């Protein structure tokens, strides 16, 4: 830092050689190399440093950190892939959960047809990370975003959802300007009361509008029922999805009446996927949270009344006890900026009797009055997030740990949460 | 993107010349230059692109975006600076609110003595941004973090809080290893039931331990009462702070008994700062939220029962209507990943009758049944966040707008949320 205060001018060069030559490029520019000056002020870090390094024992990882139990994670990946294969449905996992091409590539290696995203910026990062088939399972409004989406369709197979005729016109213009072709799913509201046109004739009319567009293909129906995912009783979830299936059936009939066919019926989440898969109507599953399993999904019940345990908790927040001034309370260094609480408080892991409560921005209180052995100041603990998606979005790095729970737990991988903050 | 999939190896060089020479450095390395290979894979973006450009009309800003009403923001900055000057107390605003050296420099230009941070990583970014005096108003646990903090004390005046003797020992070791000196505030629990040692003799004993350390200075008392900030009734807030003042007085007496003096008594937030300032005991205010004023602070009441309106809403989320399929509902592109809801839902701004509800990760529902004129699909609206600090932490850029509310509203500045995600 200079004594005169912060630098006002950029002071780094980026020097790259097309083709990615690295050591070979050497420190001097040659013809064809790319050099540019970084425009950000010095105070903007290039990227936050990871809280760990590969090979490090878990206990040395700095806190708060986003931990992936790689063993459980891999079992979760395999479990859903096997289920989809056996059910004979396509799996298109939702990348809004993980925001990581590293994870997406592993899902695709096990048979997924591609991924879903919710935002154009997420889709851009997935395509940059090598994903060839991305459905933006969401409406996209505005010329700037649609221009980017249409451009992306020149690099990968891109789909998007619509629920309004004027949005179809916007997308058609963007695709025409970019000279690309977009697959368009008509989203129907199957009960979630969010986006989606009414099932039946209204949806069919919108599909006709899509099919008549020169640069768009009618790709099928988006029929996701978000609010059914967290209904606790299995039979109630089944009833919700049965109603959704009826809405899809009515829409398929209306499509048939106008001479259209929906080749893909896409939907489902980690709470309901078994019902969509068994429906005989849905042929593509969009589940995302199954890879990590948060505390809220674990509150769902199976048909026999037991806890929904088909997938394992694989995502944790690692936190330190930063204060321990009274016997009944510990203060953690993980608060609202480290763990999402919209679906309930995080759950202390393997710490019987401890309850996380009263989070503030950078602190979490741990009530340890009922703990047989309360952790001391400086010790580190694991928390299971209440809701994985917005928790992941608070972090820049996944710290992949092998052997979590054992004495030899070690950091194996560091993956960037590449699409963290990819909001638009 | 290459056809073979994502690049697996780094392919950028960073080349810099000490002293910041820019055009003069040229493309070839010379003695003393710094070159290093970027270790991030290509898929990790250097930094997310801002959603706007200077000069752009507000309506062209991409959404969701974090908007600062520069006019209101500057009035808020000035209002607190003037208050502190007139009250004869030091102002050390909390940078956990804004996470931006740009904002910190403006606060200091108006008389603030420095800033507070909650995390070592935040302090590092403030110091890199030219801030010369940073108090980490929080306990810091662990050798890795403390080594960084102690190193930082070689570049700026750095303070930290303690509430445990073994933590004092840790900090002393770190400062000795770094060859630096740290100011240490003894934190007392004045009622917040979070961190802090008991007021009185226990605090004095801890201060003695600090004062006896070779590399630490006893800098004063940290006496922040977080949970009093959001008590709605003014007379109840006054009673809470009166009790806090009694705890401070008891501690000052205990310090005197052991021959120590606390030169700085620091605390207060946007909800209570008038009471601390009037106490005759506190001499440093740590308020942060006053610069932006969220919807939750606006629910506090003045002594006369009116709304707490000394500061103006200056922070907004700009969001687009992405779906409008039924008359009574609009769907916004700003959900849990764009706006924090821990202190209540965001408040639609200048949109009478509209209520934000049922947020999901990337969506917010707007009930517009009571709206005289509901916005159409594609229109953009402003929301006042329920809680500014964790909302800011979701974004990478502040979009500073001049003339917000008028027809000529335009983007004037783009400031990085430099310490976003600076968790440890």
In a mutagenesis test of the A interface, which of B133, B323, B327 is the best target, namely the one with the most A β-carbons within 10 Å?
B323
Number of domains in chain B: 3
Computed over every residue of chain A, the mean pLDDT equals 90
Same domain membership, residue B350 and residue B203: no
Same domain assignment for residues A204 and A266: yes
Q: Which domain holds residue A251?
A: 71-299
- Asked if residue B82 and residue B62 are part of one domain, the reply reads no
- Residue A50 domain flag: no
Name the pLDDT band for A44 (thresholds 50, 70, 90).
Answer: very low
Q: Which string of b and e fits A358-372 if b means at least 16 CB within 10 Å?
A: bbbbbbbbbbbeebe
Give dist(CA A30, CA A46) in Å, integer.
25
Name the pLDDT band for B76 (thresholds 50, 70, 90): very high
Output the six-digit token pair for B209.
Answer: 């331990």
Contact call for B62 and A321, based on CB within 8 A: no
Rounded CA separation B82/B74 (Å):
12
DSSP sequence for B129-174: TT--EEEEEEE--SHHHHHHHHHHTTTSEEEEEE--HHHHHHHHHH
Domain end (from B248, B277, B299):
B299
Min Cα–Cα distance to chain A from B413, Å:
13
Using a CB-CB distance cutoff of 8 angstroms, which residues of chain A are in contact with residue B226? 360
Same domain, A88 and A108: yes
Domain end, chosen from B299, B326, B345, is at B299
Residue A173 included in any domain: yes
The answer to whether residue B306 is domain-embedded is no
Domain boundary among A276, A299, A322: A299
Cβ–Cβ below 8 Å for A127 and B1 = yes
In a domain, A207, yes or no: yes
Residue A423 in any domain: the answer is no
* Chain A environment of B340 (Cβ under 8 Å): 336
Q: Sheet harboring A182-187: ordered strands across? A: A90-91, A284-285, A264-267, A216-222, A182-187, A157-162, A133-139, A115-117
Note whether residue A46 is domain-resident: no
- Encode pLDDT of B42-64 as tens digits: 344 445 689 999 999 999 999 99
Q: Is residue A346 part of a domain?
A: yes
The reported pLDDT for the residue numbered A3 is: 37
Residue A11 touches partner B, C-beta closer than 8 Å: yes
Q: 171-210 in A: which are within 8 Å (CB) of B?
A: 189, 193-198
Do residues B128 and B187 both lie within one domain? yes
pLDDT digits 0-9 by tens, A229-247: 999 999 999 999 999 999 9
A245 and A320 share one domain: no
B176 and B205 fall within a common domain: yes
Q: Are B104 and B214 within one domain?
A: yes
Q: Is A61 on the interface with B (CB under 8 A)?
A: no
Residue A1: band (very low, low, confident or very high) from pLDDT cuts 50, 70, 90: very low
Question: Distance, in angstroms, between B277 CA and closest chain A CA?
Answer: 24
Per-residue confidence (pLDDT) for residue B49, from 0 to 100: 82
Q: Extract the tokens encoding B190.
A: 């004045």
CATH number of the domain bearing residue A135: 3.20.20.10
* Cis previous bond, B86, omega within 30: no
Examine the pLDDT at A27 and tell me if it is beyond 60. no
Please, are residues B180 and B224 in contact by the beta-carbon 8 Å criterion? no
B136 and B236 assigned to the same domain: yes
Whether B48 is in a domain gets the answer: no
CA distance linking residue A247 with residue A223, whole number of Å: 9
Q: Are B206 and B186 in contact (CB under 8 A)?
A: yes
**B268 and B316 both lie in a single domain:** no
Query: Cβ(B374)–Cβ(B327) under 8 Å?
Result: yes
For B51, name the nearest residue in chain A, comparing CA atoms only. Answer: A424
Task: Return the pLDDT at A49.
Answer: 82
The secondary structure of B317-364 as a DSSP string is: EEEEEEEEEETTEEEES--TTTS--TT---EESS-TT-EEE---SS-E
pTM for this entry: 0.90
Residue B258 has pLDDT above 70, yes or no: yes
**CA-wise closest residue to B423 among A13, A6, A397, A171:** A397
ipTM associated with this complex:
0.90
Are B6 and B98 members of one domain?
Answer: no
Averaged pLDDT, A124-136:
97
Q: Do residue B166 and residue B268 come from a single domain?
A: yes
User: Which pLDDT value is given to residue A353?
Assistant: 96
Place A228 in a pLDDT band, splitting at 50, 70 and 90. Answer: very high
- The CATH number covering residue B380 comes to 2.40.37.20
Alpha-carbon span A43 to B130, nearest angstrom:
9
């Amino acid at each position: 830092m200079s004594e005169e205060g912060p630098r006002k001018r950029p002071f780094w060069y980026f020097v790259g050689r097309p083709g990615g030559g690295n050591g070979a490029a050497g420190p001097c520019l040659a013809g064809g190399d790319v050099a540019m000056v970084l425009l950000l002020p010095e105070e903007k870090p290039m990227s936050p440093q990871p809280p760990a390094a590969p090979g490090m024992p878990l206990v040395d990882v700095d806190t708060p950190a986003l931990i992936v139990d790689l063993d459980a994670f891999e079992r979760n990946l395999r479990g859903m892939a096997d289920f989809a294969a056996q059910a004979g449905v396509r799996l298109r996992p939702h990348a809004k959960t993980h925001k990581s091409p590293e994870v997406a590539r592993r899902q695709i290696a096990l048979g997924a047809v591609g991924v879903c995203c919710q935002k154009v910026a997420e889709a851009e990062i997935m395509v940059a990370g090598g994903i060839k088939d991305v459905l933006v399972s969401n409406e996209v409004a505005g010329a700037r975003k649609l221009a980017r989406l249409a451009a992306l369709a020149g690099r990968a197979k891109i789909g998007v959802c619509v629920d309004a005729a004027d949005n179809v016109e916007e997308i058609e213009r963007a695709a025409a300007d970019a000279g690309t072709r977009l697959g368009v799913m008509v989203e129907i509201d199957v009960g979630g009361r969010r986006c989606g046109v009414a099932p039946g004739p209204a949806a069919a009319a919108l599909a006709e509008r899509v099919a008549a567009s020169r640069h768009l293909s009618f790709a099928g129906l988006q029929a996701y029922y978000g609010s059914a995912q967290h209904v606790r009783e299995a039979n109630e979830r089944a009833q919700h999805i049965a109603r959704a299936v009826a809405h899809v059936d009515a829409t398929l009939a209306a499509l048939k009446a106008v001479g259209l066919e929906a080749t893909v019926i896409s939907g489902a989440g980690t709470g309901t996927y078994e019902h969509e898969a068994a429906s005989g109507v849905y042929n593509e599953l969009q589940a995302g949270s199954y890879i990590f399993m948060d505390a809220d999904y674990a509150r769902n019940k199976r048909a026999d009344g037991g806890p929904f345990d088909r997938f394992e908790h694989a995502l944790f927040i690692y936190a330190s006890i930063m204060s321990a001034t009274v016997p009944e309370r510990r203060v953690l260094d993980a608060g609202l900026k480290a763990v999402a609480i919209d679906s309930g408080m995080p759950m202390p892991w393997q710490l019987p009797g401890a309850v996380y409560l009263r989070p503030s921005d950078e602190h979490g209180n741990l009530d340890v009055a009922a703990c047989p052995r309360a952790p001391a100041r400086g010790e580190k603990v694991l928390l299971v997030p209440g809701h994985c998606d917005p928790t992941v979005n608070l972090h820049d790095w996944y710290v992949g740990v092998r052997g979590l729970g054992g004495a030899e737990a070690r950091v194996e991988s560091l993956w960037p949460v590449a699409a963290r903050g990819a909001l638009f």
